[in-house]
Amino acid sequence: MVTAGVFMIARCSPLFEYPPNALIVITFVGAMTSFFAATTGILQNDLKRVIAYSTCSQLGSVIHAMSDEQDMRQMGGLASLLPFTYAMMFIGNLSLIGFPFCTGFYSKDVILELAYTKYTISGNFAFWLGSVSVFFTSYHSFRLLFLTFLAPTNSFKQDILQCHDAPILMAIPLIFLAFGSIFAGYLAKV
């Protein structure tokens, strides 16, 4: 879905560029969609649904390790059992919430900054709704980390005994994603 959306925007960019009202409509719809996704993620307990609203690729490793369990309330205490996955998820979450000097910081900061400096109703709307969305995204991202990795375990004993960290075929892409989450924004900024 994410790739299809980027492809559509690239292909339709002339349609968005020339009519002046098109960008205003896109700004309002984009800000409301961001807010909707962030607030929806707060209320979900299914790991896939929380992550799907913010796109974070480490969820496959967690679900795989927990014998296809997706309910965060049925997890907990996985930081000591899945240290690699926990570290990768933590790095991904830092980037997702826009933590300074991570890739997400540079992209979110620029978008919010440009919206604020437009001095238009749509710019102010996008800035304030985007800022609130970042707050909610931060909340549901760290809620996911806490319930999955740090809270007392609420899993079946059999799932805990079978729990294992990411196999090498899952670990390699996670390492590349973590590296990109940390350095790609800075390298692109320079």
Cβ partners under 8 Å of residue 126, min gap 6: 27, 28, 30, 31, 112, 115
Structural domain total, the chain = 1
Structure tokens at 25: 């409509």
Mean pLDDT by 10 residues, the chain (190 residues): 70 78 80 80 71 58 67 77 85 83 79 83 85 84 84 74 76 81 74
Structure tokens at 173: 């892409």
In the chain, where does DSSP find H-type helix?
2-11, 13-17, 20-42, 47-52, 59-65, 83-96, 103-116, 121-145, 157-162, 168-189
Q: Does the residue 11 lie in any domain?
A: no
Cβ partners under 8 Å of residue 137, min gap 6: 38, 41, 54, 96, 97
Give the per-residue pLDDT at 146: 87
Cβ partners under 8 Å of residue 146, min gap 6: none
CB neighbour class for 50 (10 Å; exposed up to 12, middle 13-18, buried from 19): buried
Q: Does the residue 28 lie in any domain?
A: yes
Q: Does the residue 5 lie in any domain?
A: no
Give the per-residue pLDDT at 6: 73
Structure tokens at 35: 């807010």
Residue 151: half-sphere exposure toward Cβ, Cα within 13 Å: 15
Question: Model-level pTM?
Answer: 0.71
- Is the four-CA dihedral 70, 72, 74, 75 of positive or negative sign? positive
Give the per-residue pLDDT at 53: 47
How far apart (Å, rounded) are the C-alpha atoms in residues 17 and 26?
11
Cβ partners under 8 Å of residue 71, min gap 6: 45, 46, 47
How far apart (Å, rounded) are the C-alpha atoms in residues 101 and 79?
24
**Residue type at 34?**
S
Q: Does the residue 100 lie in any domain?
A: yes
Q: Does the residue 159 lie in any domain?
A: yes
Give the per-residue pLDDT at 173: 79
Q: Does the residue 18 lie in any domain?
A: no
Give the per-residue pLDDT at 24: 80
> Which domain, by its residues, includes 142?
23-189
| Secondary structure letter of residue 74 according to DSSP | G
